Amino acid sequence: EGELIFRYILEMTGARAPVRRLWLSSLTEGAIRDAFRQLRPASDYDALYAAARCRSEADWIVGLNATRYYTVRYGTRGLLWSAGRVQTPVLALIARRDDEIRTFKPEPFWELMTRYRGVLFTFTGDRFWKEAEGQEWLGRVQGHPFVIRDVARKQERVQPPLLYDLTELQRDMNRRHAMSADATLKAAQALYEGKAISYPRTDSRHLGSDMKKEIPGILRDLRPIRPDEIGRLDLEALAFSGQIINDKKVSDHHAIIPTGKRPGALAPAMRKVFDAVVTRLIAVFYPACIKDVTIVAGESNEVPFRARGVRVVDPGWTVLYPRRAENDKENGEDEQELPEFRPGESGPHEPFLRAGETTPPKHFTEGALLGAMETAGKLVTDEQLKEALKERGLGTPATRAAIIETLLQRGYIARTQKSLTATDLGRYLVALIQDRALKSAELTGEWEAKLRAIESGRLDPRQFMDEIARYTADLIRSGDAVTVDAGRLGECPRCGRPVIEGRRGFGCSGWREGCPFVLWRQYKDSELSLEQVRELLQLRVLLQPVSIEGSGPSVLQLTDSGAIVEIPVPVGRERGQTVAAGRRRTPSRQRAGARPRRQVEGEGSRGLGPCPLCGSEVVEQERSFRCSGGERGCGFAIWKMIAGKRIGVRTAQALVREGKSAVLKGFKSKSGKSFDARLRVQDGAVRFEFGSR
C-alpha cells in the first residue's frame, strides 16, 4: 500500500522534514490540481499507516511461521508447503467445494406439474423422493377439472446495479468475458494511468456528495462515443439517489467511474473494461426496470398448484444490458407470460410427473470465488447485505487477484476452462493443516474487520498484533500437541453426536433420529484399524498413507458430509508448489562412509534440473534427457527426437524447470504433415499442447 511504502522510506532515511499528503482518485489534470490545493498533513493518515503495517506484519508472521512449520514437519526433498493468513482459507474454500462435488451423489426426485390453457402450473408442496408417492398424488388429480382460485397481481421494480468497486468489476468481467481477476486489474490500472477511469483499487461502490457537480460534465464529454444511451438522460437534472451518492459508504476512494477522457485505440481487454465502466455510470441514472408479476393459484381435487407470470412493462436500465436480460429470461423457468385468468373458471388439464435429479454445486469460477472472498465464504446475492459483510472479507480488493495468482503459481489450484479447482497438491496441503482456524474464512474475516477498525481509529494496533502473536504461537504449539484420544471414537461429522461401533463399521448414535452417517471398516481394498478410525473421526484426516489399488498411496480425509475423499501423496518435487522452483540448490553434504551418487552414462552427463516426479537430477544421455535417481531412475524421460523434431538442451531445460516449452515448429505427424505445438510435462509424461494457452 502506498502509505506504508512511503512511511517505510521515511523511517529508513530518518527524514525529519514536514510531510503533506497528496490524495488522488483520478489522474486528470483538473483532479491533480484540485488535490494539490487540498494537501493534508501526514498525521491525518496515521491510522491508515498503522492498519497497513499491521496487515503486512500479520501476513509475514503467520505466513513465515506456518510455512516453515508445515515444511519442516511434512516436507520432503524439494517440497515447500506455503501457508498464509489469507491464501490458506481461500485454498480451503476451493478444496471444500471440490470435495462437495467429488462426493456428491445425485438423488432422483419427482415434481407434480399440470398444463392448463397452455400454462405450466407447479404443485405447491414439496418434491417427491419416491416415485410411488408422486404417482399417488398424480392419481388424485387425473380425471378431475382444474379450477382457478385466485389471481394476484403486483408490480416489481428492479433498481440499477451499484457502481463498480474493483471486486465487482473483476467479477463482471469474468462472468461476461471470462477475464481473470489479474487481467481485469491490469487493464483497469492501465486505463487509470491513461487518465480514462478513476482509481481502480477501491472497495467503495458509491460516490461522495462532492462528485455531484462533476458527473454531468463527465457524461457530456462521453456523449460523442455513446450518443444514444447518454442522449436519453437530462444532464441538467440528473437524479442522484442514495444508491449513487453516499458519503458514509465512501472510504479512501470512491467507486470506479470514467473521467470523461475519450481514449483512442485500446487493447481488447482495456476496451472491455472501459466500456463496462462507462455503461455502469450511465445505467445508474436510468429508471428502474418495471415488471408486472402475476401469481395464479389453482387446484384440482383440492391439490394446490401455482403459476407465476412476468411481463416487462418498462425495461428501464436493462436496455443497456441486452445479453444479461436474455440470460435472465432463459434462466427464469417460471417467468412465463400468462393469458388472462378469472377466479372460478375451470376446465380440463394435463397433469404429469416430471422426473429430475439433484445436482452438485458448481466449481468456483474466478468471479464466484471473488464474491466468496468478499463475504468470507458466505453465499450472498443481495447487494445491500453484501455491502454489510465487506468488512469481514478475505483480503482487500487490491490483493485478491494476487492471492488467486499466487495459488495458481504455486500449483495449489488450476484453471480448467472457466473454473478454478484445487490440485492434488493443494488438497494435500489443506489436509495437512490441522489448525482449523488457519483454514477458516470466518477468522480471517474477523481479522480484516479489526484491520478496518485500526484504519478508522477504533482499535489499538498493539492489541491486534498481540492477538496475531498469540495465535501464531498457539498454531505451532497445538500442531505439535495434536493427539488422538484413545478413550473415545469421535463425533459424527454430520451432526456432532458421538459415533458408536457396530459389527461392520461405525455409525452415528443418532441413527434413530435419521442421521445416516456410517464409516465402514472395509474401505475399498484396505481394512481400517480402530486407531485409523479414531484418527479419521477426531482429526478428519488419516495422514499415514493408505495404499489404494489403482491410485497409489493416498491420505484419506473425512468431509463434513461424512464422505471419504482420497488425496494422492505428492511424489517428490511437483512443479509449481515452491517459489524456489528453478533456483540452484546448495549441494547436500556427503555423509561419511556413504557411497558416491551413481552418475548415469559417465562423468560428462549434463544436469538440467530436478526431476518433476522425484526431485533427482535430470541428466543428458545419448538418446534422451532422463532422471538419474535411484538404481534406474524413476522413469521420467524427454526423448531427443519427438515426432521427427530434434529436442535440444534449452527446450529440455524449460520442460524440466518450467513444465512447458515455447511453441516449437517442424513436428511431423504420422501422415507426414508438419505442425507446430508446445510441449508440456503432464502426469510425468511429455505431451503436445496445441493453441495459445
State the CATH number of the domain containing residue 254.
1.10.290.10
For the chain, percent of residues with pLDDT exceeding 90: 54
Say whether pLDDT at 631 is over 50. Answer: no
What residues have CB less than 8 Å from 250, skipping those under 6 apart?
Answer: 204, 206, 207, 208
**Cα separation values, 167 from 368, 388, 419, Å:** 11, 15, 17
pLDDT of res. 581? 37
Q: Which helix (H) or strand (E) holds 289?
A: strand 289-300
Query: What is the DSSP code string of 607-651?
Result: EEEE-TTT-PEEEE-SSEEEE--TTT--S-EEESEETTEE--HHH
Dihedral sign for Cα 203, 209, 213, 219, please: positive
- Which segment of 12-16, 350-354, 377-381, 518-522 scores lowest on mean pLDDT? 377-381
Residue 46: band (very low, low, confident or very high) from pLDDT cuts 50, 70, 90:
very high
Say whether pLDDT at 529 is over 60. Answer: yes
Residues 411 and 372 occupy one common structural domain = yes
What residues have CB less than 8 Å from 511, skipping those under 6 apart?
Answer: none
- Which segment of 81-85, 169-173, 199-203, 248-252 scores lowest on mean pLDDT? 248-252
Query: d(Cα 335, Cα 44) in Å, to the nearest integer?
Result: 53
Query: d(Cα 480, Cα 473) in Å, to the nearest integer?
Result: 11
Average the pLDDT over 323-336 and give the result.
57
Strands (E), 396-517: 413-416, 419-422, 499-501, 505-508
Average the pLDDT over 400-425 and give the result.
91
Closest Cα partner for 611 from 686, 547, 554, 550?
A: 686
Average the pLDDT over 217-222 and give the result.
95
Burial class (CB in 10 A: 0-12, 13-18, 19+), 534: buried
Residues 150 and 170 occupy one common structural domain = no
Say whether pLDDT at 226 is over 80. Answer: yes
Average the pLDDT over 411-435 and give the result.
90
Query: d(Cα 85, Cα 489) in Å, to the nearest integer?
Result: 32
CA 330-332-334 angle, to 5 degrees, is 125
Average the pLDDT over 125-144 and give the result.
96
Listed residues 335, 357, 379: the one ending a domain: 357
pLDDT of res. 669? 78
Residue-wise pLDDT tens digits, 176-214: 999 999 999 999 999 999 999 999 999 899 998 888 999
pLDDT of res. 673? 83
Residue 106: band (very low, low, confident or very high) from pLDDT cuts 50, 70, 90:
very high
pLDDT of res. 391? 67
Closest Cα partner for 84 from 412, 330, 349?
A: 412
Residue 420 lies in a domain: yes
What residues are paired with 202 via a beta bridge?
Answer: none
Average the pLDDT over 479-506 and give the result.
86
Residue 632 lies in a domain: yes
Average the pLDDT over 305-310 and give the result.
95
- Which segment of 95-109, 139-153, 376-390, 593-607 scores lowest on mean pLDDT? 593-607
Average the pLDDT over 433-440 and give the result.
85
Q: Which helix (H) or strand (E) holds 523?
A: strand 522-523
DSSP assigned state of 478: H
Residue 71 lies in a domain: yes
Residue 270 lies in a domain: yes
Closest Cα partner for 351 from 127, 131, 145, 124?
A: 145
Q: What average pLDDT does the chain have?
A: 85
Helix, strand and coil in the chain, % to nearest 5? 35, 25, 40
Query: d(Cα 455, Cα 48) in Å, to the nearest integer?
Result: 5
Residues 340 and 397 occupy one common structural domain = no
- For the chain, the first-to-last Cα distance in angstroms comes to 32
Say whether pLDDT at 684 is over 90. Answer: no
pLDDT of res. 122? 97
Q: Which three cell numbers stand for residue 287?
A: 429508471
Other residues' Cβ atoms within 10 Å of the Cβ of residue 538: 18
Average the pLDDT over 484-502 and give the result.
90
pLDDT of res. 643? 85
Average the pLDDT over 382-400 and give the result.
69
Average the pLDDT over 424-444 and give the result.
87
Residue 25 lies in a domain: no
Residues 689, 677: contact at Cβ < 8 Å? Answer: yes
Residues 473 and 513 occupy one common structural domain = no
Average the pLDDT over 33-56 and give the result.
93
Closest Cα partner for 368 from 83, 97, 185?
A: 97
State the CATH number of the domain containing residue 431.
1.10.460.10
Residue 240 lies in a domain: yes
Domain boundaries, position 649: 607-689
Residues 262 and 172 occupy one common structural domain = yes
Listed residues 251, 283, 315: the one ending a domain: 283
More confident: 103 or 591: 103
Residues 690, 680: contact at Cβ < 8 Å? Answer: no
Question: How far does Cα 520 stand from its chain's mean position?
Answer: 34
More confident: 334 or 398: 398
Residue 381: band (very low, low, confident or very high) from pLDDT cuts 50, 70, 90:
low
More confident: 190 or 634: 190
Say whether pLDDT at 340 is over 50. Answer: yes
- Which segment of 71-75, 270-274, 480-484, 683-687 scores lowest on mean pLDDT? 480-484
DSSP assigned state of 172: H
Catalytic residue flag (residue 199)? yes
Residue 382: band (very low, low, confident or very high) from pLDDT cuts 50, 70, 90:
low
Q: Which three cell numbers stand for residue 229?
A: 444511451
Residues 170 and 121 occupy one common structural domain = no
Q: What is the CA radius of gyration of the chain?
A: 31
Say whether pLDDT at 359 is over 90. Answer: yes
Residues 562 and 669 occupy one common structural domain = no
Residue 112 lies in a domain: yes
**Which among 240-249, 386-395, 472-481 has the top mean pLDDT?**
240-249
Catalytic one among 49, 116, 192, 199? Answer: 199
Residues 154 and 293 occupy one common structural domain = yes
Residues 369, 90: contact at Cβ < 8 Å? Answer: yes
Residues 270 and 205 occupy one common structural domain = yes
Say whether pLDDT at 596 is over 70. Answer: no
pLDDT of res. 28? 75
Q: Which three cell numbers stand for residue 5?
A: 511504502
More confident: 562 or 584: 562
Average the pLDDT over 583-611 and give the result.
44
Say whether pLDDT at 306 is over 50. Answer: yes
Residue 586 lies in a domain: no
Amino acid letter at 462?
A: R
Residues 112 and 187 occupy one common structural domain = no
Q: Which three cell numbers stand for residue 595?
A: 557411497
Residues 542 and 621 occupy one common structural domain = no
For the entire predicted model, the pTM comes to 0.74
Listed residues 283, 314, 335: the one ending a domain: 283
Residues 426 and 447 occupy one common structural domain = yes
pLDDT of res. 192? 94
Say whether pLDDT at 386 is over 70. Answer: no
What residues are paired with 422 via a beta bridge?
Answer: 413
The Cα diameter of the chain in Å comes to 99
More confident: 28 or 225: 225
Say whether pLDDT at 614 is over 80. Answer: no
Residues 613, 684: contact at Cβ < 8 Å? Answer: yes
pLDDT of res. 590? 36
Q: How many domains does the chain have?
A: 5
